[in-house]
Amino acid sequence: MLSHERVWAAIDTLAERYSLSPSGLAKKAGLDSTAFNKSKRLSVDGRPRWPSTESLAKIIEATNSSLDEFIGFVEGRTAALSVSVASARQTSGVPLLGFAQAGAGGFFDDAGFPVGQGWDLIELPGQATENSYALQVQGDSMLPLYRNGDVLVVEPAAPIRKGDRVVVKTLDGEVMAKVLERQNAAGVDLVSLNPEHPDRHIPIARMEWIARIVWASQ
């Protein structure tokens, strides 16, 4: 979100990234050196003072930064630090840890909530991709992998390869979720994880589209 605090934090982060003080950043951008004084971020009457859009454009250009980088600072997902859980909470992602690391001490409190340092960060679906959508499983045909009611997040723009879990739609309207075993000019071979359902071969001529499943609810 675009908030007063976030915008000022992004200005500070941009300055830090390019080894400048806020005052030095302002000068480099052709602004008054006191433009980004912390004492000027609130008005006399306590009202938040926003840097102008034109000022933001100037500092991005002056540092040869990019709008995407600056927005990364605004959103808190771009930082040069090893994140603590608290830092991770300030971003749109969630803290990530390997299972092996999870077994060690120092990553969880007594109730099982994540704490401390050393976490990586991961973006969850539906935030950065504009084409993803969700399909809800109906029936038991995809057990044991997917149960009735599970939600699958599908990313049609994602490249697919052997081993991926995919959704395939045939020209006669059948929609199925299976594992991609092979894809070539003739069609695709799909592996079912339910022994009661056979593996499938779908010729290209019968396939309307195929898309990768990126997340599944549990």
Partner DNA sequence: CCATCAACAGGAAAAAATACCTTTTTGGTA
Partner DNA sequence: TACCAAAAAGGTATTTTTTCCTGTTGATGG
**Which positions lie near DNA, rule CB under 7 A?**
20-24, 26-27, 30-40, 43-44, 47-52, 54-55
DSSP secondary-structure letter at 120? E
- Tell me the one-letter amino acid at 97: L
Query: How many angstroms separate the CA atoms of 58 and 37, rounded?
Result: 17
Q: Which stretch binds a second copy (CB under 8 A): 12-20, 21-29, 36-44, 65-73?
A: 65-73
Among 41, 156, 192, 197, binds a second copy (CB under 8 A): 156
Q: How far is the CB of 163 from a second copy (least distance, A)?
A: 8
d(CA 86, CA 164): 33
- Residue closer to DNA by CB (options 55, 194) is 55
Q: Mask: binding to a second copy, 21-40, rule CB under 8 A, as x and -? A: --------------------
Say if CB 211 and CB 156 are below 8 A apart: yes
Give the H or E element holding residue 5: helix 4-17
Helix 67-75, helix 53-62: angle, nearest 10: 120
Residue 47: contacted member of a second copy, DNA, none (CB under 5 to 8 Å, by partner type): DNA
Quote the least distance from Cβ 33 to DNA, whole Å: 6
Cβ contact 7:51 at 8 Å: yes
Interaction of residue 73 with a second copy, rule CB under 8 A: no
Asked if 165 is part of the footprint of a second copy (rule: CB under 8 A), the reply reads: yes
